[in-house]
Chain A
Amino acid sequence: METLHPLTPEQLARAEDRLLHPVRGSQIEAASNQGIDLTLLVEQLRLTPAERAKKLERASTVLEQVRGIANRHS
């Protein structure tokens, strides 16, 4: 089974360029037109997959605390 590795500096530079300067007619341009914030994807790609997962866990914890507060006040 293949392994999902962090992007190499070359791969990251290429991905950043594509995301920040979408080619006309590309999937990236279509996503941008749908309102997807491509700068957030750049930030994510700068992290390793493990770092992305840790970040999600932290965000999820905060989200659940907010949900708990909202539920108590509803």
Chain B
Amino acid sequence: MQFETAVQTLFDAEVEFVVIGGLSATFHGSARGTYVLDICYSRTSANLRRLTAALAPFHPRPRGFPAGLPFVWDEATLRNGTIFTLQTDIGEIDLLAEVKGLGTFDDVKKHSIVVEAFDRKIATFDLPGLIRAKRAAGREKDLSDVAELESLREASEP
């Protein structure tokens, strides 16, 4: 996954997004790997336009979508869903308009902080927000992530 290219592209296109998931955990010190970029995005019309334009050069398609079937990547497609798991030329990107346990982009933004990475200042979950989202997701993998993230929180407390 070309995290740097993806994050810089979205940032430079002025897409309103918050980095969530594995990359966010990495920012906070997680040692676990991921090869998917997860972001929560704003569903305003202007943002959907920016988001589709930014990713279009990387030919996004839903993962597992039959190769022969046409797929239209545009604002209308994004408007008709809230979760998109995409394969692109630069790797796998998951787009979430809502995050379980937290809510919409505006709710997620309240639980985010700025991190300097990939030569940009980007928004990502704060540690309590990330833990809350992982708990709400509830998969075995997420709950295992929670134990690691709780350790990082405890280790970093004043």
Residues of A in contact with B (beta carbons under 8 Å apart): 1-4, 7, 11, 14-16, 18-19, 26-28, 30-31, 34, 36-38, 40-41, 43-45, 49-50, 52-57, 59-61, 63-64, 67
Contacts and interface: CB of A to CB of B under 8 A. Distances in A.
B30 interface: yes
A19 B151 contact: yes
Contacts of B34: 56, 60
Nearest to B37: A60
B27 A53 contact: yes
Contacts of A61: 1
Interface of B: 1-4, 22-23, 26-31, 33-35, 91, 112-118, 121, 123-124, 126, 144, 147-148, 150-156
A15 B3 contact: no
SS class, residues of chain A in contact with chain B? helix
B145 to A, nearest CB: 10
Contacts of B154: 18, 26-28
A38 B117 CA distance: 24
Given A41-B155, A56-B23, A4 B147 contact: no
B152 A3 contact: no
Contact of A49 (B27, B144, B151, B156): B27
Given A49-B117, A57-B1, A30 B147 contact: yes
B38 to A, nearest CB: 13
Given A3-B113, A60-B34, A52 B27 contact: yes
